[in-house]
Chain A
Amino acid sequence: MYQFSGKLKTFSLALIALGLIGIVISFASAPSTIDEAKEIIAHQSSHGDSHGSSHDVKEEAHSEASVDNHSVEKAHSADHKNDAYAEESAHGSNHDDAHAEHVLHQLQNKPWSALYVSLFFFLGISLLVLAFYAAQRVAQSGWSIVLFRVMEAITANLVPTSIIMVVVVIAAAMHMNHLFPWMAEGVFDPTSPNYDPIVDGKSWWMNVPGWTIRSIVYLAIWNAYRWFIRRNSIKEDTANDGYKTFKLNYNVSVGFIFLFMLTESMMSWDWIMGLDPHWFSTLFGWYVLASLLVSALTVIAFVTIYLRSKGALPAVNDSHIHDLAKFMFGFSVFWTYLWFAQFMLIWYADIPEETTYFVARFNEYKLPFLGMVVMNFIFPILLLLNSDFKSMPWFVIIGGIVILSGHYVDIFVMVMPATVGAQWSFGIPEFSALLFFLGIFIFTVFSAFAKASPIPKGNPYLEESEHFHYYNIEHRGEGSDHH
């Protein structure tokens, strides 16, 4: 049995406390009035920093309404939630005030968005570990049985992140934040200056009650499966009932995979694509899936390598690490494939209503947008291509840190342009939200791992998994006992 060390527990609680303080500070320091926002704008332009100047460029493009800058102009108006602002600025009256109000909303969104990015990142990783685990059960894979308890422990993080997600969902439904522009007042009301006919046309899907209920149903389904499979997986250890429990777990996992694919797609429409209600993409659900799946496999590799270094996983050998690294490599390429397929199809056809999404990202988020391709594709493909490197924990850790950072940036670039636009930065709000959820992750995962036997004794494939060897590792001296 693994003992959750007091040191690690204190460390995780310190992360939670530190993150919480940072989150409180970031909420407290967000501007609440237009005057405060104006002050911040004045401060920005006096410094002439990148945000201030990029905003100026945007204003210029907007007022010119030139033909060649058509897409930039589209981006500008789409990126502004407040239609009243677009109206006003078109008339040229009250321009400064409207601009300040717009920036105010973006600044007020900052602490929410920072929290939301980290929350979605950690929730998604735990969910995809659960889905990968279900897939391993359904595939009746022989190699991964000794990692089952690691995966189960990671899915324990699904519970606290789901609870926080419910809180954020309810807060959004109660108009406590402006994350989702289609939730603003008057968007569906033809008599309102905020009326948005395009979003109104989607109101059969995008309405607050439907959205809230769906969000809670997704979370309920995922948590129900996690609760069931964790309980029954431990039951397997002592069941001794002719693999009846094992077969039941198999059947339930098949059902979960089906429900997961449905809910994962809809979740990505509701929680991420809904941030840009004017924009849509058909492969978005898979793209989010790929991003979270590669992160999930990296996290499994990290927790496995850590626990093995503590001697808690005696049955795990370099070949298991090698297989995890192969998955990390393969799904990094898969993510790139989907990312590029989405980008290239939109770039090639250049239809304004689709292109705005990438124009906003390319103009305001150039470094993270291009940097994540390097971090999520070029770096892992070069590092993890070599078969020997994949079985060295040290290399897997280096590759994994870059992959995880890259996919955090990926989620960041999915969320931030829609909520805070040009006002983005990586500071106290973003960093403290990361620390907060990392602390929760460490606490829940390692205390869950300490609660069950690290070896799933009742699994019929355990023997095979314990003797799993990838052939070329034998050349490097890790012997296999039998062929």
Chain B
Amino acid sequence: MSNPMKNRYDFVLIFDVKDGNPNGDPDAGNLPRIDPETGHGLITDVCLKRKVRDYVMLAKNLSLEFDIWVKSKSLTLNEQIQRAYAEDDAVKKAVEAWKAWQKDKKKNPKPARHYEDVARDWMCRNFYDIRTFGAVMSTSDKAEKDGVDGMSKIKKTAGQVRGPVQITFSRSVDPIVALEHSITVCAARKADKPVESQIGIQGRKNTVPYGLYVAHGFVSAHLAAQTGFGEDDLNLLWDALCNMFENDRSAARGLMSTQQLVIFKHNSALGNAPAHSLFKRVILTRKDDSKPARDFSDYKLEINKSNLPAGISIIERL
């Protein structure tokens, strides 16, 4: 890892949607997610993580050390994978050393590191999403028959990698309304049926006319050290959060944009202030309550920079 991360970061991501469905709710026929008690819109953490992954896939083209483990087929970049997937020599050596020790514990020394740890490091080094968000891993074979490869005595364990980046559910600043639009099918899809019977069917589309959403996130320097998430990875994360909607256009999404990313940088790894006290400094207010908001310009964004706690600096990225 070049340039290890030495600071704790807490961030506020402000993004909006215009005439689109930012995150459908499978429980409600793909209507935009709504908190039933307050009417505020919700966007899940996994929805944003998917977009970060997709952005990094496009930006880094799955190059060495920036591959993505949890891929989406909608981005068919498979042919462009330039990396060799042969297992790392270090992992092979570690397994060999472990087997040798298992076979004859008197003659062969116990390896300093378990082969699973070596394999886990290899995964973290190669996959951006694993070293950023973590993953549940199983890094050994299923138990095979005795003596086939000496692996049967090795207990199958599933390790977990906790990534340094935590993202919360996003919530809209104001309650949202979900509009339902009927659309008409005008292209026949099946060649073996008469065209007349196939067109004119009504479809449905759900949109939010306008919604401004806020997500909170955290980056822990200690967990970054454990997965090898460095400063370059961090800058790529900031880029991804700012640009992830630019490469995620679709009929369903409407116009989504990151409006502001406010990063609180602590000058220490443990941090210099409680995260929630920093998040309170980002204030979004409606300029005119008499009419519904339809654009980011209908909101006023204030970042309270007075009496910042010592050791905190604010970075505004967009």
Our verdict on whether A and B bind, yes or no, reads no
Q: Which A residues form the contact surface with B (CB < 8 A)? A: none
